[in-house]
């Protein structure tokens, strides 16, 4: 599996990182410490003390500094060791790697690549727990599987009819609609109509769904309801999107290691829908928890089959369109990253 590094990865819900309570996480197999000083400012460090690799996440905040609680080495917020008990001189190389870190949409985002390239504009424009306009539930779960399999699951929703046949029953209408996929600069955009089905259970209507899956693995899906017949009247084109979404799903996939993935999610509805919004949130949370248990079982079994199958490969299919576009995009971005790191070599220049 290819991972891009020049991207923002979700490491935690923002509200789970309290001031002066360091938390250790793992992203792309790297141990990372997320912490806030008393003022609430975030920092992200390599989670291993330069002295003897003790995790700094077992450390203690002291004002604006962080102390390793094995032998007491003290770090400032740039990752530099500024005090060692019983020692005067401190080597310049006594520092841990720091990562660009940003709080947005109720999440803590960490940039895993070249710090100089970190651009907050690349944080996906999702709707998160800090958005007062939505009534949202949230949770997270871990998969014993690589992130690729979780991403692929989210990029090919044709599985809902089968894997979630009982937990998230869908009409025949849903099955017959074909999404339109568009590859964008850092995402795959998808939209489709479901004729004769309202986002509100038990109501007639048409539903227009938009989904954006951003690198490295962030999905925003919105459903809007329209009067029955709108899809046909518009000939399947985009409707007026002025009204807020009725259902909203935000899924954030974070690769911990090559065999472990953390999955954050929030789901709910817009406040404009009043009591309906609360019911929609509760309904979606119930569906999500049942459906994710099914996804987890299937994806971990898939990973197991991959692990015991030398030379394994997948067989492409029409319904994989989104999967293919997204993985192609990841490959392209990964190649560009590598090109940035390896300038044209002098040898090659000399031949010109």
Where does this chain bind a second copy (CB under 8 A)? 29, 31, 47-48, 50-55, 58, 67-72, 84-87, 91, 93-94, 152, 156, 158-159, 161-163, 165, 175, 178, 297-298, 301-302, 305-306, 308-309, 312, 314-315, 317-319
**Alpha-carbon distance 295 to 149, whole Å?**
10
CB nearer a second copy, residue 155 or residue 188: 155
Among candidate residues 81, 36, 91, 88, the one with its CA nearest the CA of residue 54: 81
For residue 12, give every residue at least 6 positions away whose Cβ sits within 8 Å of its Cβ, in sequence order, or none.
23, 25, 34, 107, 108
Tokens of 145: 């599987």
Q: Confirm if 73 and 91 have CB atoms less than 8 A apart.
A: no
Q: Which is nearer to a second copy, 29 or 78 (CB)?
A: 29
Residue pointed to by tokens 């310049």 = 92
Complex with a second copy: residue 52 or 233, whichever CB lies closer: 52
Question: What is the closest distance, in whole angstroms, from the C-beta atom of residue 22 to a second copy in the complex?
Answer: 13
The H or E element containing residue 62 is strand 60-62
* Plot region of 70 (φ>0 → left; ψ -120 to 50 → alpha; else → beta): alpha
User: With respect to a second copy, which residue has the nearer C-beta, 285 or 299?
Assistant: 299
Q: What is the C-alpha separation between 54 and 62, in angstroms, rounded? A: 18
Of residues 152 and 197, the one with the C-beta less far from a second copy: 152
**Cα 324 to Cα 87, 123, 183, distances in angstroms:** 56, 22, 10
Q: Report, in Å, the least distance between residue 144 CB and a second copy.
A: 15
Query: Which tokens belong to 227?
Result: 């009067």
CB of 24 to a second copy, least distance (A): 9
Give the helix/strand (H/E) hosting 59. Answer: none
In whole angstroms, the minimum distance from the beta carbon of 12 to a second copy comes to 19
Indicate the residue among 107 and 112 with the shorter CB distance to a second copy.
112
**Residue 156 or 206: which CB sits closer to a second copy?**
156
Q: In this complex, which beta carbon is closest to a second copy, that of residue 91 or of residue 235?
A: 91
Q: Which is nearer to a second copy, 84 or 334 (CB)?
A: 84
Closer Cβ to a second copy, 230 or 302, answer by number: 302
Q: Are β-strands 81-83 and 60-62 bridged in parallel, bridged antiparallel, or unpaired?
A: unpaired
Rounded to whole angstroms, the Cα distance separating 221 from 189 reads 10
Q: Which of 155, 152, 154, 158 is nearest to 174 (CA)?
A: 158
Instruction: In angstroms, give the least distance from the CB of 171 to a second copy.
Output: 15
CA of 34: how far to CAs of 31, 100, 192, in Å? 10, 11, 39
Least CB distance to a second copy at residue 304 (A): 8
What is the number of helices (H) and of strands (E) in the chain?
Answer: 7, 18
Contact 187, 124 (CB under 8 A): yes
Task: State in angstroms the smallest separation of the CB of 154 from a second copy.
Answer: 13
CA 114 to chain CA centroid, nearest Å: 19
- Shortest distance, CB of residue 129 to a second copy, whole angstroms? 30
Q: In angstroms, give the least distance from the CB of 3 to a second copy.
A: 16
Q: CB of 216 within 8 A of CB of 3?
A: yes
* Least gap, CB of 52 to a second copy (angstroms): 5
């Amino acid at each position: 599996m290819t991972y891009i590094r020049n991207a923002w990865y979700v490491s935690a819900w923002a509200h789970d990182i309290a001031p002066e309570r360091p938390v250790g996480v793992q992203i792309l197999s790297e141990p990372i410490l997320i912490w806030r000083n008393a003022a609430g400012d975030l920092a992200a460090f390599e989670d291993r003390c330069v002295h003897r690799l003790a995790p700094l996440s077992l450390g203690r905040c002291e004002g604006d500094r962080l102390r390793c609680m094995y032998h007491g080495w003290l770090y400032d917020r740039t990752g530099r060791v500024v005090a060692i008990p019983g020692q005067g001189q401190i080597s310049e190389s006594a520092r841990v790697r720091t990562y660009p870190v940003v709080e947005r949409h109720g999440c803590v985002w960490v940039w895993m690549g070249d710090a100089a390239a970190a651009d907050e504009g690349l944080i996906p424009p999702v709707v998160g727990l800090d958005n007062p306009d939505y009534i949202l539930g949230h949770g997270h779960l871990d998969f014993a599987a690589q992130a690729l399999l979780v991403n692929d699951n989210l990029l090919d929703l044709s599985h809902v009819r089968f894997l979630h046949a009982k937990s998230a029953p869908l009409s025949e209408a849903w099955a017959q609609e074909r999404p339109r996929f568009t590859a964008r600069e850092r995402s795959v955009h998808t939209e489709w109509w479901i004729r004769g089905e309202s986002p509100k259970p038990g109501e007639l209507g048409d539903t227009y769904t938009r989904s954006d899956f951003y690198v490295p693995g962030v999905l925003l899906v919105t459903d809007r309801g329209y009067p029955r017949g709108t899809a046909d009247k518009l000939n399947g084109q985009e409707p007026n999107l002025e009204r807020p979404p009725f259902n909203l799903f935000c899924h954030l996939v974070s690769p911990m290691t090559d065999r472990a993935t953390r999955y954050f999610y929030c789901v709910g509805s817009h406040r404009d829908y009043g009591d309906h919004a609360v019911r929609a949130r509760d309904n979606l949370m119930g569906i999500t928890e049942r459906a994710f248990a099914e996804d987890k079982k299937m994806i971990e079994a898939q990973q197991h089959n991959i692990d015991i199958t030398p030379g394994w490969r997948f067989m492409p299919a029409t319904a994989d369109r989104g999967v293919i576009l997204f993985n192609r995009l990841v490959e392209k971005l990964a190649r560009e990253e590598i090109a940035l790191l390896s300038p044209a070599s002098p040898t090659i220049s000399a031949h010109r």
